Amino acid sequence: MLDVIRKHKRSWLVILLLGVGVLAFVMVGVGPQGGQNQGVVTIAEVNGDPITYSELETHYYRMLQTYQQLSGGRLSPADIEALNLRGQLLNEIIDQRLLLQRARELGLRVSDEELVDGIARNPAFQVAGRFDRDVYEQALLRQGLTPGEFEAQQRESLVIQKLQDLIQDSIPVTASEIEERYRWDNEEIALDFVRLKTDEFLEGIEIKDEEIKDYYDKNAALLREPLKVKTRYIEYRVDDFAADVQISEKDVQSYYDVYRDRRFRRHEAVRFSHIFIPAAPADASSEERAEPRKQMEEILKEAQGGADFGELAKQHSKGETAAQGGDMGFVGRGQLVEALDAALFALGENEVSEVIESPVGLHLLKAVEKQQDEVMALDEVREDIVKALKRERGGTRAARAAEDDREKGLDGTPLTEVVSQRNLEASVTRLFSAGETLDEIGDVEGFYRAGLSLRPGQVGPIITTADALYLLEGAERVEPAVPPVGDVREKIRETLTRRKAGEQALEKADALLAALKQSPDLRKVAADHAVTVEDTGLFPRKQAEIPEIGVLPLPLGRLTLSEREPVAKDAYVRGDSVYVMVLRKTVEADPAGLADEKEELTQRIRGEKRERVLRRLIEDLKANAAIEVHPEFI
């Protein structure tokens, strides 16, 4: 698992730091242990632009939780140390800051309209394919963000995206590059391989006491137990405080009058299905250029003759939603390119358009459901208004109660006494450390960060979520420490035993590779060394996961074996096994499929080139930038 995380670490870092359309959550105010407010401490400067401790810690805790989820909670403190997340994250933040500065130097800006459109298109804020303001505000509330804070982050992300798009649009892709990539990606290969399991080398390995002591002395940082705390808390559930709230008809009418146009208006929209066939390449013959329209005209005839449009989309469409029958959800006016927008909104329900041509290809549209621009009647939304008002007033009551109780706690009253005055209970968590999630709390980052900062008896902040508020008090704190050698002796013995077994497996693999240099016949070499040969069966060369083996840390991210060089030069380690591989069979790609994949391949190659250009740009910017890092705060 750690190998896979390392392999994809940078891409996940960038996604969390920069994903346009990805909700970038930020929590502030809680730093490491100590009396000063670490949140505002500057840990680095990029051309005078500060990076604060809280900014780094925000990304660190989010990334740590992501990795724990990916590993199923199996990441040990040693694994976390080995990943060097804080160092990697700081480098990425510096890179993004440099790109943002460069984009601004070039005069790239994001208009308010572009910002609103970018947020509205985020699936995290949509219901039935349409932006929902309440969903948006609740999502931000759960993470302690105001709309202003989030929108400022989105604006920066979109500015950097514009810089990336500017770079990508200037990158050429040649026909020979596309053809070479197509052949490479669509070629099928089969491997013979030997799997050397670490467990098979464990027998007979002995670990001396002095080896254990030496490992203990040299790896104190890896053995250090992280900070762990127990947190006492009172949960103020909004629904509990809303239970006896009475809402009058006047209240309902007033709410409706205020929010009628904002929340209770159905804007004109159409839910539609889509069949797409890409245009022929620019260098295609006249017959080849005519083929997509001919095919689409045949599909239109079938649709007009009563054939199921969704099934036609599954069979013929090259669009992203083909597998879902071409279902594109609801769109409002102006969300599609002009030709498609005009055609779609001119259709009646269940009508199919004529063939529509755009710069990228041909389209057929079917209007599945039409929604008129109208304000919903009060009776239609009365129940929703009552629920909203009850939750709003329940939330106000809960917040007032939490604030009153916090004041009492700050005056010295223990939370156990505070709750005795209300029909509530003070609960205590189990010991937890950074990156863990408690079942009873869920994914509430502010709770964990505040809890980790508190000393026993210290009253913390009120943590607000959509459904509840939490008042925290430190209950127990176990500072980071290296356990006595006696407590970790067996753990170290197992680590050293498996390490030696792994070394023996690698030595065996090296012996096999040496023999393969004389003769690439793996089956003969394996028989001479009393090991078993397995095979993968045929699979696409571009496939990341190798059958029977899994994902390996390969150069360039893919196998480069060929008939001229069939033997993998190195042994590869995955989990507790070492692999020696030899190419057994190759099946060439069908050239007839190139036309269908040409556009996708062009974009993929251009994207890869863009990443290389971006890395060179960042290196140049770094070389000419004034970057100062304060490692004492990291």
Q: What's the confidence (pLDDT) of residue 65?
A: 67
CATH number, domain with residue 471: 3.10.50
The structure tokens listed for 633 are: 């705060």
Stretch 188-205: mean pLDDT: 95
Average pLDDT taken over every residue of the chain? 84
The structure tokens listed for 522 are: 């793996």
**Helix axis angle, 147-169 to 133-142, nearest 10°:** 100
More confident residue, 132 or 103: 103
580 and 516 within one domain? yes
217 and 237 within one domain? no
Q: What's the confidence (pLDDT) of residue 17?
A: 41
Cα 544 to Cα 63: distance, rounded to the nearest angstrom: 23
- Spell out the residues 6+ positions from residue 566 whose beta carbon is closer than 8 angstroms to its own: 520, 582, 583, 584
616 and 554 within one domain? no
Instruction: Return the H-helix or E-strand segment holding 192.
Output: strand 188-197
Q: pTM score > 0.85 for this model?
A: no
| pLDDT bucket at 604, cuts 50 / 70 / 90 | confident
Long-range contacts of 316-321 (CB under 8 A, 24+ apart): 316/275, 316/277, 317/274, 317/275, 317/276, 317/277, 318/276, 318/277, 318/278, 318/361, 318/596, 319/274, 319/275, 319/276, 321/274
Task: Report the percent of the chain where pLDDT is more than 70.
Answer: 88
Domain span at 403 = 228-245+381-478
Residues 213-242 have pLDDT tens digits of 999 998 887 788 889 999 999 999 999 999
The structure tokens listed for 232 are: 């006492």
Neighbouring-strand partners of residue 358: 361
The burial class, CB within 10 Å (0-12 / 13-18 / 19+), for 286 is: exposed
Cα 563 to Cα 190: distance, rounded to the nearest angstrom: 12
Amino acid letter, residue 412: G
Q: Answer for the pair 382, 376: CB distance below 8 angstroms, yes or no.
A: no
Grouping H, G, I as helix, E, B as strand and the rest as coil, residue 578 is strand
Domain membership flag for residue 258: no
CATH number, domain with residue 366: 3.10.50.40
145 and 95 within one domain? yes
626 and 564 within one domain? no
413 and 451 within one domain? yes
Q: Among residues 421, 455, 478, which one ends one of the domains?
A: 478
Task: Report the percent of the chain where pLDDT is more than 90.
Answer: 44
Residue 252 phi, psi (nearest 5) = -65, -45
The closest of 29, 162, 169 to 99, measured between CA atoms, is 162
Domain membership flag for residue 598: no
494 and 471 within one domain? no
CA atoms within 13 A on the CB side of 259: 17
| pLDDT bucket at 452, cuts 50 / 70 / 90 | very high
Domain membership flag for residue 250: no
How many CB atoms within 10 Å of residue 8?
15
DSSP letters, 66-127, are HHHHHTTT---HHHHHHHTHHHHHHHHHHHHHHHHHHHHHTT----HHHHHHHHHT-GGGEE
Q: Answer for the pair 52, 31: CB distance below 8 angstroms, yes or no.
A: no
Q: What's the confidence (pLDDT) of residue 180?
A: 87
571 and 493 within one domain? yes
Grouping H, G, I as helix, E, B as strand and the rest as coil, residue 502 is helix
Q: Among residues 455, 478, 501, which one ends one of the domains?
A: 478
- Tokens 């609960």 belong to which residue? 427
167 and 116 within one domain? yes
301 and 232 within one domain? no
Q: Answer for the pair 489, 212: CB distance below 8 angstroms, yes or no.
A: yes
Domain membership flag for residue 67: yes
Q: Flag the least confident range among 354-358, 554-558, 599-603, 610-614.
A: 554-558
Domain membership flag for residue 406: yes
CATH number, domain with residue 130: 1.10.4030.10
Q: Among residues 459, 478, 497, which one ends one of the domains?
A: 478
| pLDDT bucket at 325, cuts 50 / 70 / 90 | very high
Domain membership flag for residue 171: yes
How many CB atoms within 10 Å of residue 443?
14
b or e along 587-613 (b: 16 or more beta carbons within 10 Å of the residue's beta carbon)?
Answer: eebeeeebbebbbebbeebbeebbbee
Residues 80-112 have pLDDT tens digits of 666 777 888 888 899 999 999 998 998 988 888
Q: What's the confidence (pLDDT) of residue 117?
A: 83
- Judged against a pLDDT cut of 70, whether residue 632 lies above it is answered with no
Q: Answer for the pair 27, 53: CB distance below 8 angstroms, yes or no.
A: no
Residues 546-590 have pLDDT tens digits of 999 998 887 656 678 888 999 999 999 998 999 999 999 999 988
Q: How many domains does the chain have?
A: 4
CA diameter of the chain = 91
Cα 357 to Cα 289: distance, rounded to the nearest angstrom: 13
Stretch 297-305: mean pLDDT: 93
499 and 414 within one domain? no
More confident residue, 16 or 285: 285
Q: Answer for the pair 195, 579: CB distance below 8 angstroms, yes or no.
A: yes
Report which DSSP code applies to 155: H
Report which DSSP code applies to 467: S
Cα 273 to Cα 322: distance, rounded to the nearest angstrom: 9
More confident residue, 172 or 16: 172
Domain membership flag for residue 263: no
Q: What's the confidence (pLDDT) of residue 74?
A: 57
b or e along 506-515 (b: 16 or more beta carbons within 10 Å of the residue's beta carbon)?
Answer: bebbeebbeb
Domain membership flag for residue 29: yes
Q: Answer for the pair 578, 505: CB distance below 8 angstroms, yes or no.
A: yes
Q: What is the 3-state secondary structure (H, E, C) of 81-94?
A: HHHCHHHHHHHHHH
| pLDDT bucket at 144, cuts 50 / 70 / 90 | low
29 and 176 within one domain? yes
